[in-house]
Amino acid sequence: MKLACNVVEQVEAICDKHGNKPGELINILHEAQSMHGYLPEEMQRIIARKLGIPASKVYGVVTFYSFFTMTPKGKHPISVCLGTACYVRGSEKLLDEIKRVLNIEVGQTTPDGKFSLDCLRCVGACGLAPVVTIGEQVYGRLEPKDVKKILDEIPD
Amino acid sequence: MKTLNFEDLTQVRKKAQATLSVRELSYAAADESSCGLAVGTEHIQLLCCGGTGCKASQSQKIVENLKACIEANGIADKVQVIVTGCFGFCEKGPIVKVMPDNTFYTQVKPEDAEEIVKEHVIGGRKVERLLYVDPKTEKTVSDSKHMDFYRKQMRIALRNCGFIDPENIEEYIARDGYAALANALQGQTPEEVIDIIKKSGLRGRGGAGFPTGMKWGFARNYQAENKYVVCNADEGDPGAFMDRSIMEGDPHSVIEAMAICGFCIGASQGLIYIRAEYPLAVHRLKIAIEQARNYGMLGKNVMGSDFSFDIEIRYGAGAFVCGEETALIHSMEGKRGEPTLKPPFPAESGYNGYPTNVNNVETLANVPIILTKGADWFASIGTEKSKGTKVFALAGKINNVGLIEVPMGTTLREIIYDIGGGVKNGKKFKAVQTGGPSGGCLTEKHLDLPIDYESLGAAGSMMGSGGMIVMDEDDCMVSVAKFYLEFTVGESCGKCTPCRIGNKRMLEILTRITEGKGTMEDLDMLKTLATTIKDTALCGLGQTSPNPVLSTLDNFYDEYVEHVKQHKCRSHQCKALLTFTINPEKCKGCGACKKNCPSEAIIGDVRKPHIINPYQCIRCGMCKSRCRFDAIQVF
Amino acid sequence: MEQNMIQLTIDNHVVEVPKGTTILEAGKQIGIEIPTLCHIDLKGTCVKNKPASCRLCVVEVEGRRNLAPACATDCMPDMVVHTNSARVIRARKTIAELILSDHPNDCLTCPKCSDCELQRLVMRFNIRKMPFNGGEQSERKRELTPAITRNMEKCIYCRRCESVCNNVQSVGVLGAVRRGFDTTIAPTFDKMFVDTNCTYCGQCVAVCPVGALTERDYTDQLMDDLTNPDKVVIAQPAPAVRFALGEEFGMEPGTSVTGKLASSLRSLGFDYVFDTDFGADLTIMEEGAEILHRLKKFLAGDKDVKIPIMTSCCPAWVNFYEHEYPDLLGHPSSAKSPAQMFGAITKTYCAEKMGIPREKIVVVSIMPCLAKKYECARPEFKVDGNPDVDYSISTRELARLIKRANIRFTQLPDSDFDSPLGESTGAAAIFGITGGVMEAALRTVYEVYTGQTLPHIEFEQVRGFEGIREATIDLNGFPLKVCVAHTLSNARKIMDKLRAGELDYHVVEIMACPGGCIGGAGQPYHHGNFEILNARRNALYAEDEGKKLRKSHENPDIQKLYKEFLGEPMSEKAHHLLHTHYSDKSIK
């Protein structure tokens, strides 16, 4: 898949803004991902070329950090907190239930592109443990039985 | 606006202190008689928690509603709403505090805003139903000073959290903010400042507890054209949120401390390495840096002196290992966050090869107040080798989840039972985990341990960054060890053999044990692996990663043996070891379990006792959660 | 004691070392061999890898909480080190067992069997059980390129290949991807080598301690061809092979085995045993003519002529500039490599002379190189699909074949190469080292340009192992500026300058491998021992000195070839057979 011209320009502009410095790679990747949603191969090649570093270096960084993704996320990204506080209050069971209801594994997106599922470590809402975030919304003190209802209520 | 010089700063402080006096006063003498406009109080301030936790519970909406209601009642000239950082008592959030009478409302909902304004602010009558109820006396407590949660705390690093508006630099200045920096620039030598920090006994709050003054001294001693001050805000321990709360609630204390450090070591550039998962903290830091620049606290010629210092933000991208300082530096350089061997230490060769001083957020937050109040004051708090206080994120099976700060030397018992209000749901205390994935599980016998760096280390755990997770009788310690190891395996950078393969093999052994497939040889292998990894891994993460396993092996060996020999998990956490049955005496044949069983393992006719087919049962526990007659038994 | 000297104790021996010496190096001085795996330091070249990550070299330092990696820990005054305490030995053994738990147990059939650094350590640690085996294995990827075989299940993540690919060659194809247990070394975007800008220099293979990266093996195919009565199989061994092959049979590094090489090839059943050295002399004729041609134009003020002219005999270097410098393709000489020239002449001139049809001839090159395998597969080196050189085997593969054929190499008599493509000069011999092609070219260019005999045949200025060397040669008053570089990172420096218009050389020689072909990726493994490269170098220059003829243009068979067949250098026929073109292969 080829990137649209304006996306290419935007990525190049992001690199220029950071002076095309290899040291800025992670900041550039953050901005590129927040602009485009994910970091496809071609985008990484553009960044590598602009920064004058091998594309393998960019790819090595992208695959090292869990925040970066090379696949598009769902429209409503779900994150289950697996911080210790949530874990001891049963977040693993929540995760199992979400996997069961959506029939996807962690890191995957539903075929219709509506939901994607990830885990994260501590959103800092430990008082509400266990916590799940869907998009920007934080859901706290959940039980497995609440999962289906919440997911059903989210519009397409 | 024009940037401030030393004289201007004093003027701004005086003015701002007047605004803050409503709050300052209330701390000194909260008075029931000052409740509400009805009794003639001239100014009222409503402090509303804007930390991540409370924001997740709609505190933003509460603020909006409060403001709208104040506006509607035409009292905006007398009543202000101020969004502060975290109050710490997250269990009871969102929190709204009314000043000057210091009334502490808990679990406020957006729809409660109107009542607070009309009843309390205007009418002078407290909203009883929103007050905190002391679980021991079952009486309401209005003033936070009288709550057990706060009584034993001593807030130094958190001195401004939940007290000032973090987005307003003048409120920070009112609290003697930037006074330490001004003092240093006006007459102290870098050596003098470093000396004060050394004398105070402040040690790194990020984990290892290295003396901060010494660290600064090393960085000062290396000559180079560039030097860097780095704030490590890559707080990654699962269940820890101390640093985040400080940055959200009091960002200027970190900025001021970085500038002071820059002055001391001879650096003009600061970098804050912060997790990208902390959007609110990033937002507040950005505002704070901008304001500090506008006020002349950052930038060229700070406060008119010949010292220049500025700060940039660098983002982490989801890698726990980047909390290790060499990995953090590589990450800031745009590389994979892999640690490298020390020496050379960052003080000699750090960011881009230049001398770099890395301190954690909480460490930095202590610096300005040490300088304004003096080394002796700070050194008078705490134990012989661990001075000052420590912030802990108290979480898990405990009544009062939240952020607390206690003097070093406070016992675990005081923290868990007095401040934390004891174990949730009246269950039995089993263990407390400190230090996150690098720490260990402490037990009943450690409860009276006065906690500091040395005592925790000696007990097989670690201070770490301050996560403190309480576990009760329902927690399986083998599973807990497995949980932490899963974390380490997921977060290992993979560079060195012991951490990359060793931890993986340990996790496989633990998984076997929790599935009832472990052997006694497995326990020996665990011990061998744990010891070797501790002894040979490249970085701090690897070297401490076996701690959760070692400490549970030490303290809960019988539980391991039980899993291996009897295939039994006493806490019913290890799914593979459970058997679900239905007690025919209790079963009414309602069919709720059958209907909800995802694997169709339950059979039975209506109004007759049901049976679970053990071969089909996936042990999900759904039936137990749906049974209204307590008929499902688990062995 | 001198100021920058340090005294310390290792295993109860007191040792004095300069500041900055590692415990590993200090131990070596007093005969203590601390085991290493990830570490490599080919002193004198830029091949270095010191991540301190395998942790097999850990030692106990008194007063330290943890064990310290000897390869990266500097000696400190009064340090007390134990390299063989029970604690150290136990830890090392456990780590080796861990490595084995993520490594297949197919040593018997592994191409690195008996030449594997891990295997050696396992024997040394007396490991008899594999207690941690049975768990998950890290992700496996396999790939068979024309030159390199990649079998990642054997990777132990020492990252030597990554260091070499990035720091030495600056190609940057190999890099660490993912993290934790899933970390692996992979070509860009987890693609196959063939889909990246890999140059097939093979230096990753040269440093791989285990069998994860090896050469693509053509020995079975060669066996089939040798035993096929319908094929005429012709051998052409490269210059550098004869200075290293003996190592595979236990001979001292630096033993020249030219005569035994010819005999062994004959024993293997090759129908003709010719010599790539002949091709090397031929290359000098063509490339030398091209140098003179361009120089004349340049001196006549021609603005379009591409100066500097660059050598083009190293196939990895050719791949490198086709991938990375498509805008500068006019600079390299259009002359084919010696092996390809040899193939082209064999399948035309020779075939005609011997009366054998092209299709029946199988030309096999024996090379110190892996990129040559890829070179053979290039379409421009084929006539109607039939390659000029059918395939290329490495020095190591030849050694394996000799062993397989029950030939006792060390006792073979010396013999000569066959005629007409067996004669060569000393100029051809030195093709095997960095600076050699330049020196060979200068010997001919000087004499042709000036019409005088060289007063001193050796050009010491272009010899040595420094990464980039330059010299100015006086050609009857014209200062000819030349430059010699080895490794592709040094090539990149030169090409970047050229691109920026900051280069004022006339002739540039580039070799991709450290040291040139003697350090080629197809040579017997050096295992990080630089002395081996040094010994090969000495043998090579000795061979040159011992030759009666030391200038390519004096080779009588070459002269005959031009007279009978080609006409003169750069004639139309020569151009057709001995020159090539380059194309833009950059990855967009």
Calculate what percentage of chain B has a pLDDT beyond 90: 75
Instruction: Flag if B536 and C58 touch (Cβ within 8 Å).
Output: yes
Instruction: Flag if A65 and B319 touch (Cβ within 8 Å).
Output: yes
Map tokens 């095997």 to a residue: C432
Of A43, A64, A85, the residue at which a domain comes to its end is A64
Q: Are strands A115-120 and C361-367 parallel, antiparallel or unpaired?
A: unpaired
Instruction: Flag if C173 and A56 touch (Cβ within 8 Å).
Output: yes
SS3 assignment for chain A: CCCCHHHHHHHHHHHHHCCCCHHHHHHHHHHHHHHHCCCCHHHHHHHHHHHCCCHHHHHHHHHHCCCCCCCCCCCEEEEEECCHHHHHCCHHHHHHHHHHHHCCCCCCECCCCCEEEEEECCCCCHHHCCCEEECCEEECCCCHHHHHHHHHHCCC
Which of A22, A67, A121 lies nearest to residue B238, judging by beta carbons? A121
State which residues form the domain around A121. 76-153
- DSSP H or E segment with residue B367: helix B361-373
Instruction: Flag if B57 and A140 touch (Cβ within 8 Å).
Output: yes
Q: For A55, which residue in chain C has the nearest alpha carbon?
A: C188
CATH code: domain of residue A136: 3.40.30.10
Residue A109: inside a domain, yes or no?
A: yes
Same domain, A84 and A126: yes
Going along chain B from its start, the domains and CATH numbers come out as: 16-147 (3.40.30.10), 176-378 (3.40.50.11540), 389-475 (3.10.20.600), 478-566 (1.20.1440.230), 578-634 (3.30.70.20)
Q: What is the CA radius of gyration of chain A?
A: 18
Q: How high is the pLDDT of residue B192?
A: 97
- Closest by CA to B211, choosing from B67, B379, B62, is B379
- Closest CA of chain B from C526, distance in Å: 24
How many interface pairs between A and C have CB atoms less than 8 angstroms apart? 39
- Closest CA of chain C from B321, distance in Å: 10
- Closest CA of chain B from C166, distance in Å: 14
* Structure letter (DSSP) for residue B607: T
Tell me the HSE value of C587 on the side-chain side, using a 13 A CA sphere.
23
Q: What's the average model confidence in pLDDT over B33-55?
A: 83
pLDDT tens readout for residues B5-37: 999 999 999 999 988 888 876 555 556 666 778
- Residue B510 in contact with partner chain C when CB distance is under 8 A: no
pLDDT tens readout for residues B176-194: 999 999 999 998 999 999 9
Q: For A25, which residue in chain B has the nearest alpha carbon?
A: B334
- Closest CA of chain B from C134, distance in Å: 9
Residue A102: inside a domain, yes or no?
A: yes
Interface test with B, best of C57, C75, C89, C94 (most B CBs within 10 A): C94
Q: How high is the pLDDT of residue B26?
A: 57
Which of B53, B238, B335 lies nearest to residue A61, judging by beta carbons? B335
Interface pTM, i.e. ipTM: 0.94
What does C154-200 look like in DSSP terms, one character per residue?
A: G-----HHHHIIIIIS----EEEES-GGG-EEEEGGG--GGGTT---
Q: Are strands A137-139 and C391-394 parallel, antiparallel or unpaired?
A: unpaired
Residues from chain C contacting residue B496 (CB–CB below 8 Å): 52-55
Same domain, A87 and A144: yes
- Domain count for chain A: 2
Same domain, A59 and A125: no
Handedness of CA C530, C535, C540, C542 (dihedral sign): positive
Which of C95, C157, C179 lies nearest to residue B492, judging by beta carbons? C179
Instruction: Flag if C171 and A54 touch (Cβ within 8 Å).
Output: yes
Q: Which residues of B3-29 are buried (b: 16+ CB within 10 A; e: fewer)?
A: bbeeeebeebbeebbebbebbbebeee
Residue A146: inside a domain, yes or no?
A: yes
pLDDT in tens, chain C (588 residues): 567 899 999 999 999 999 999 999 999 999 999 999 999 998 877 888 989 999 999 999 999 999 999 999 999 999 999 999 999 999 999 999 999 999 998 999 999 999 999 999 999 999 999 999 999 988 778 899 999 999 999 999 999 999 999 999 999 999 999 999 999 999 999 999 999 999 999 999 999 999 999 999 999 999 999 999 999 999 999 999 999 999 999 999 999 999 999 999 999 999 999 999 999 999 999 999 999 999 999 999 999 999 999 999 999 999 999 999 999 999 999 999 999 999 999 999 999 999 999 999 999 999 999 999 999 999 999 999 999 999 999 999 999 999 999 999 999 999 999 988 999 999 999 999 999 999 999 999 999 999 999 999 999 999 999 999 999 999 989 999 999 999 999 999 999 999 999 999 999 999 999 999 999 999 999 999 999 999 999 999 999 999 999 999 999 999 999 999 999 999 999 999 999 999 999 987
Q: How high is the pLDDT of residue C483?
A: 98
- Residue B495 in contact with partner chain C when CB distance is under 8 A: yes
What does C254-310 look like in DSSP terms, one character per residue?
A: T---HHHHHHHHHHHT-SEE--HHHHHHHHHHHHHHHHHHHHHHHHTT-SSS--SEE
Same domain, A57 and A97: no
Average pLDDT, chain B: 92
> What are the residue numbers of the active site of C?
287, 290, 313, 333, 372, 375, 380, 517
d(CA B119, CA B127): 7
Instruction: Flag if B395 and A84 touch (Cβ within 8 Å).
Output: yes
Residue A69: inside a domain, yes or no?
A: no
d(CA B440, CA B432): 8
Q: How high is the pLDDT of residue A1?
A: 60
pTM, 2 dp:
0.93
Same domain, A144 and A103: yes
Q: In the predicted model, is pLDDT for residue B529 greater than 60?
A: yes
Which of A89, A120, A128 lies nearest to residue B277, judging by beta carbons? A120
Residue A70: inside a domain, yes or no?
A: no
Question: Could you tell me the two tokens for B547?
Answer: 């701690």
- DSSP H or E segment with residue C122: helix C117-124
Q: For C96, which residue in chain B has the nearest alpha carbon?
A: B497
Interface test with B, best of C36, C55, C71, C118 (most B CBs within 10 A): C55
Cβ atoms of B84 and B20 closer than 8 Å: no
- Closest by CA to B539, choosing from B345, B355, B342, is B342
Instruction: Flag if A121 and B625 touch (Cβ within 8 Å).
Output: no
- Closest CA of chain B from A117, distance in Å: 16
Residue A71: inside a domain, yes or no?
A: no
Same domain, A85 and A144: yes
Interface test with B, best of A31, A84, A142 (most B CBs within 10 A): A84
Residue A54: inside a domain, yes or no?
A: yes
Residue B595: CB atoms within 10 A of its CB come to 11
Going along chain C from its start, the domains and CATH numbers come out as: 5-124 (3.10.20.740), 286-335+423-578 (3.40.950.10)
Instruction: Flag if B334 and A25 touch (Cβ within 8 Å).
Output: yes
Instruction: Flag if C172 and A60 touch (Cβ within 8 Å).
Output: no
Residues from chain B contacting residue A87 (CB–CB below 8 Å): 238-239, 483
Same domain, A125 and A81: yes
Same domain, A58 and A120: no
Cβ atoms of B401 and B91 closer than 8 Å: yes
d(CA C266, CA C377): 26
Q: What's the average model confidence in pLDDT over B399-413?
A: 94
Same domain, A17 and A82: no
Instruction: Flag if B536 and C66 touch (Cβ within 8 Å).
Output: yes
Same domain, A85 and A149: yes
Instruction: Flag if C157 and B492 touch (Cβ within 8 Å).
Output: no
Residue A121: inside a domain, yes or no?
A: yes
Same domain, A112 and A58: no
d(CA B201, CA B379): 6
Interface test with C, best of B330, B335, B532 (most C CBs within 10 A): B532
Residues from chain C contacting residue A53 (CB–CB below 8 Å): 172
Q: How high is the pLDDT of residue B25?
A: 64
Same domain, A88 and A148: yes
Q: Angle at CA C240, nearest 5°, toward C236 and C245?
A: 85
Q: How high is the pLDDT of residue B28?
A: 52
Least confident of A106-115, B299-308, B498-507: A106-115
| C-alpha distances in Å from residue B487, one per residue of B320, B490, B545 | 9, 5, 10
With H, G, I as helix, E, B as strand and everything else as coil, classify residue C337. coil
Residues from chain B contacting residue A66 (CB–CB below 8 Å): 317-319
Cβ atoms of B353 and B227 closer than 8 Å: no
Tell me the HSE value of C477 on the side-chain side, using a 13 A CA sphere.
1
Question: Could you tell me the two tokens for B310?
Answer: 């500025």
Instruction: Flag if A60 and C176 touch (Cβ within 8 Å).
Output: yes
